[in-house]
Amino acid sequence: MSRHDVELIVNGRRHELRVQARHLLVHTLRDELGLTGTHVGCDTSNCGACTVLIDGDSAKSCTVLAVQADGAEVTTIEGLRGPYDGLSAVQEGFRQEHGLQCGYCTPGMIMASTSLLAQNPSPTDREIRQGLEGNLCRCTGYEMIVRSIRWAAEHPQPDQ
């Protein structure tokens, strides 16, 4: 099996890894770097539980090979920080508005929402729902999730 050297900056830390050509980024994050907050939900890129930020844009890490991310800056749920007792505005919004139930989709939802708010700091509820179309929640019906993102939009972090 062909192996390749890759360099990733994950949550601000540089990592040099040797990975198989077919190794998915989600497995590199979880298995090689121990960042298990990025969930594997469906293995088919349908659910969005594996969403991370790659160079600031949301991406489903189960659709990206680790070699494709070579040289990229990757942010996982563990890498988000903010002014709310260390939580980002989106994380705090999920806490304030009860935007999670079982929690399995939550890291992907938070990462997709973080990207959405970076691109559109004041989205309408419809834009929030459109921004989350690739992320599935099997518990909530999305109303609390939309309220959570709305809370984050109304309470932006100083650097947003």
**Euclidean distance between the first and final Cα of the chain, in Å?**
43
Residue 160 pLDDT > 70, yes or no?
no
| Helix orientation angle between 106-119 and 143-154, rounded to the nearest 10 degrees | 40
Q: For the segment 107-157, what is each residue's pLDDT rounded down to a tens digit?
A: 999 999 999 999 999 999 999 999 999 999 988 789 999 999 999 999 987
Cα(131)–Cα(152) distance, integer angstroms: 14
pLDDT number for residue 1 = 73
3-state secondary structure of 144: helix
Averaged pLDDT for residues 4-13: 98
Q: For the segment 22-57, what is each residue's pLDDT rounded down to a tens digit?
A: 999 999 999 999 999 999 988 788 999 999 999 999
pTM: 0.94
Residue 159 pLDDT > 70, yes or no?
no
CA contacts within 13 A on the Cβ side of 158: 4
Of 156, 11, 13, 10, nearest to 83 by C-alpha is 156
Q: For the segment 59-107, what is each residue's pLDDT rounded down to a tens digit?
A: 999 999 999 999 999 999 999 999 999 999 999 999 999 998 899 999 9
Domains and their CATH numbers in the chain: 3-79 (3.10.20.30), 89-154 (1.10.150.120)
